[in-house]
């Protein structure tokens, strides 16, 4: 058995006959969102073959299975980032395991810097499209034909119908949410003001160091994706607060409660 088959079996054995409709990967500082779940099983990444062994503060390394408003849901707390240097294999294992479990919809959440002044720390933005500015791609190398095509199209990287549902969930929950183009930089440095100027010029509304990588792996194997950014700061050169990981976690904490409400409303209406 390969790592994906082993991890799929471990998760299935932890809660037999449980079919999650949606998997949600939680970004930095957004771990408390799992409070909306009636948890039925908890599996540590350390028990899952090939899963990311996370070591960034705010990334827990745990899979939770349970229900939200009666719907079967799988939460994944923690993910590897490209800047850690060895992220791609574990991200592929994690996302292809989600696919193997029969999930059709993957929700990706992150903490991001905003290029739109009216969406400051604590606001939420739906990801409408992305720009991969990492200079790399997780699908480089031999194509894994059993998972997807050599040249995956990316026109529907972020599913338009799911985004409509997310917008109406936001309305119902009384939450103001924008939407925008997310640009992934490689990190781990935050951007320079000049880099933010470039990102703006090429059409970015949000910047961060994750999510595009996961989206590419997910689209390759046919998962439909919906993305939400928790704005933790105005991008470099735009605000008066120095950027740091602590500041990211502080900003995420501001958005966390609304994000939880929004995700709950979205799932209930699935």
- The answer to whether residue 83 is catalytic is yes
* Binder among 33, 95, 112, 262 for ligand HPA (CB under 6 A): 112
* Binder among 148, 232, 256, 265 for ligand HPA (CB under 6 A): 232
User: Which among 74, 111, 170, 236 is annotated as catalytic?
Assistant: 111
154's tokens: 């990316």
CA distance 11 to 89: 19
Q: What's the closest the beta carbon of residue 209 comes to ligand HPA, in angstroms?
A: 5
Q: What's the closest the beta carbon of residue 207 comes to ligand HPA, in angstroms?
A: 5
Is position 177 an interface residue for ligand HPA (rule: CB under 6 A)?
no
Is position 235 an interface residue for ligand HPA (rule: CB under 6 A)?
yes
- The answer to whether residue 107 is catalytic is no
Chain residues 244-263 in contact with ligand HPA, contact rule CB under 6 A: 248
Question: What is the x/- site pattern for ligand HPA, positions 28-67, by CB under 6 A?
Answer: ----------------------------------------
Between CA 203 and CA 211, with CA 178 as vertex, the angle to 5 degrees is: 65
Strand-pair category, 206-208 with 124-132 = unpaired
| Contact range with ligand HPA by CB under 6 A, out of 79-87, 143-151, 213-221, 229-237 | 229-237
48's tokens: 């899952």
Residue nearest to ligand HPA (CB): 113
- Asked if residues 132 and 216 have their Cβ atoms less than 8 Å apart, the reply is yes
User: Which among 23, 45, 74, 81 is annotated as catalytic?
Assistant: 81
Q: What's the closest the beta carbon of residue 204 comes to ligand HPA, in angstroms?
A: 11
Is position 148 an interface residue for ligand HPA (rule: CB under 6 A)?
no
Is position 111 an interface residue for ligand HPA (rule: CB under 6 A)?
yes
User: Which backbone phi and psi does 81 adopt, to 5 degrees?
Assistant: -120, 155
Is position 190 an interface residue for ligand HPA (rule: CB under 6 A)?
yes
User: Which among 3, 7, 28, 215 is annotated as catalytic?
Assistant: 28
Span between the terminal Cα atoms of the chain, in Å:
33
Strand-pair category, 177-184 with 206-208 = parallel
- The answer to whether residue 118 is catalytic is no
What is the CB neighbour count within 10 angstroms for residue 49?
A: 17
Residue 66 burial (CB < 10 Å; 0-12/13-18/19+)? buried
User: Which among 3, 7, 37, 59 is annotated as catalytic?
Assistant: 59
Total residues interacting with ligand HPA, rule: CB under 6 A: 13
Within the chain, residue ranges assigned H as helices are 3-14, 88-100, 160-172, 193-201, 212-220, 245-268
- The answer to whether residue 111 is catalytic is yes
CA distance 110 to 26: 7
* Binder among 76, 207, 260, 263 for ligand HPA (CB under 6 A): 207
Residues in the chain: 270
- Asked if residues 196 and 236 have their Cβ atoms less than 8 Å apart, the reply is yes
User: Which backbone phi and psi does 19 adopt, to 5 degrees?
Assistant: -115, 100
Q: Which stretches of the chain bind ligand HPA, using CB under 6 A? A: 111-113, 190-191, 207-209, 232-233, 235, 243, 248
The residues carrying an active-site annotation are: 28, 59, 81, 83-84, 111, 209-210, 233, 245
């Amino acid at each position: 058995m390969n790592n994906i088959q082993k991890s799929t079996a471990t998760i299935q054995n932890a809660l037999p006959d449980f079919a999650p409709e949606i998997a949600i990967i939680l970004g930095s500082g957004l771990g408390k969102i799992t409070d909306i779940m009636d948890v039925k099983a908890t599996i540590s990444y350390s028990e899952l073959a090939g899963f990311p062994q996370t070591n960034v503060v705010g990334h827990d390394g745990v899979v939770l299975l349970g229900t939200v408003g009666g719907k079967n849901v799988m939460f994944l707390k923690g993910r590897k980032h490209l800047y850690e240097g060895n992220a791609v294999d574990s991200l592929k294992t994690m996302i292809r395991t989600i696919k193997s479990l029969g999930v059709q919809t993957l929700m990706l959440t992150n903490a991001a810097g905003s290029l739109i002044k009216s969406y400051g720390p604590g606001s939420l933005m739906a990801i409408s499209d992305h720009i991969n500015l990492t200079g790399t791609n997780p699908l480089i190398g031999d194509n894994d034909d059993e998972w997807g095509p050599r040249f995956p199209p990316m026109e529907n990287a972020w599913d338009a119908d799911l985004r409509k549902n997310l917008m109406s969930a936001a309305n119902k929950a009384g939450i103001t949410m924008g939407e925008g183009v997310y640009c992934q930089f490689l990190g781990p440095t935050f951007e320079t003001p000049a880099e933010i100027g470039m990102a703006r010029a090429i059409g970015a509304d949000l910047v961060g160091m994750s999510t595009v990588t996961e989206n590419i792996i997910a689209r390759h194997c046919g998962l439909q994706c919906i993305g939400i950014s928790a704005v933790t700061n105005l991008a470099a050169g735009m605000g008066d607060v120095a950027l740091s990981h602590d500041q990211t976690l502080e900003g995420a904490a501001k958005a966390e409660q609304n994000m939880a409400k929004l995700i709950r409303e979205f799932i209930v209406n699935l």
